[in-house]
Amino acid sequence: MTDAAASLSVRRLTEWDAAELQALTAEYGSPLYVLDLERVRQNYRRLEAAFSDADILYAVKANALGDVLSTLREAGAGLECASAGEVQRALEAGASGSEIHYTAVNPPAGDLDWIVDAWADHPELTVTAGSEDTIDRLADRGYTGRLCLRVNPGIGAGHHEKVRTGAAAKFGVPAERAVDVLADAADRGFDVVGIHAHVGSGVSSDQLEAHREFVARMGDLARAVADAVGTLEFVDVGGGFGVPYREDEDPLDLESVADATRDAIGEIDAELAIEPGRYFVADAGVLLTEVNTVKDARETTVAGVDAGMTTLIRPAMYDAYHPIRNLTAAGDDGRERLPQTVAGPICESGDVFCTERELPVSKRGDILAIGNAGAYGYEMANQYNSRPRPASIVLEDGDVRLARRRETVDDVTRAEREARNASDSSPLASANRKNDHGRASDTDND
């Protein structure tokens, strides 16, 4: 990365070295995720400077690669985890219990079993509950540790209706019931330490008023909880800081966001906590894919590539825009440009990365780069159509390292073969009849 790129608040796709990315594809194959760990650090330092008085956690769900978790933890971030699996990844990355918040939604029984077991070894772990039922389930398992309550503030914002969590019934206890719920939890012996809410993902500059109103409600709630229950350790207002995916979009003014957050929350006797995910990793990653088919259709020219909605689902799921660059044509000024549809190999009409995007004429063997792929890229990859997931590499201090090997078809079918080879009476078969952590349900011991 150049010094100029490092100083920018967003890294555009054009700032990646085309020749270097093509060389990586030649060595590691396609499709391929590439993540620049130094850019992750730079994004953290920029946010840390703006929110100098806040406790910063990284929302692991954005990109759970162990290298990312280690990089951000070493930079000073805590880790906010949405599942037992993410907590295990955090511990494997070297995090202590005090650096981890477990914030699950409708957690499966096996998750809670695993978390309570982990709490025995890591008593500083914080568990965030999003319902009274979850608190009851924790109590049933003997958990009396650090408890944070996720509240529903009734305000949502974000880049798509599917990620506007602040007003969705699925998330959190209604704010108007929070004081009573926390008072009851304290009476039952829980160590009540905080309140939490998240307005949504990908909040843009034109949605900052909704963010301000949401934070103000959290400040009011924090003061009410303090009066009724006692002083809180922290008030977590989530993350959701958007990044510019389109080339003509401006980045968030983080200093203004931080100032507005402090003003809106008001005086509270608790630490402000935030938990961005996308902001740290989105522009630190690209997805590389090879053109394998070019055809003139009735209304468009289709450039068929070996990545698809199983590799990067955001365009299909959210109608999300990602910048696309033909790396092979980067040094060929003579290539004509024309509108093209870039489509993957999945048997779905929605398996397209763009439609009628003006790009240099595609040729078989060209390498395309899809930008801003560091967040919710590999994390949402899947094996639909029995397609193996891609490899991931990381860049750090001039070195290149394979961080996750490419799956094979053998990997895709392994679980079925193991099931066939196991007898019904074997421990493996018995475990698979239950959930991931060996418990069938919360009603087993009723």
- Please indicate if the annotation marks 278 as binding a ligand: yes
CB 313 within 8 A of CB 380: yes
What distance in Å separates the CA atoms of residue 158 and residue 165, rounded to the nearest whole number? Answer: 8
- Please indicate if the annotation marks 174 as binding a ligand: no
Q: Indicate the residue type of 334.
A: G
- Please indicate if the annotation marks 314 as binding a ligand: yes
- Please indicate if the annotation marks 276 as binding a ligand: yes
- What is the distance between the terminal CA atoms of the chain, rounded to a whole angstrom? 58
- Please indicate if the annotation marks 33 as binding a ligand: no
Q: Which residue has the tokens 């060996």?
A: 438
What distance in Å separates the CA atoms of residue 313 and residue 169, rounded to the nearest whole number? Answer: 25
Q: Looking at 81, 148, 347, 354, which residue is catalytic? A: 347
CB 126 within 8 A of CB 100: yes
Cα-trace Rg, the chain: 23
CB 341 within 8 A of CB 270: no
- Please indicate if the annotation marks 277 as binding a ligand: yes
Q: Indicate the residue type of 178.
A: A
347 catalytically annotated: yes
Which helix H or strand E contains 401, and what residues bound it? Answer: strand 399-404
* Cβ-based burial of 235 (10 A; exposed 0-12, middle 13-18, buried ≥19): buried
CB 68 within 8 A of CB 281: yes
- Please indicate if the annotation marks 376 as binding a ligand: yes
Residues annotated as catalytic (active site), given as ranges:
347
Return binding residues: 240, 275-278, 314, 318, 348, 376
Return binding residues for substrate: 278, 314, 318, 348, 376
Return binding residues for pyridoxal 5'-phosphate: 240, 275-278, 376
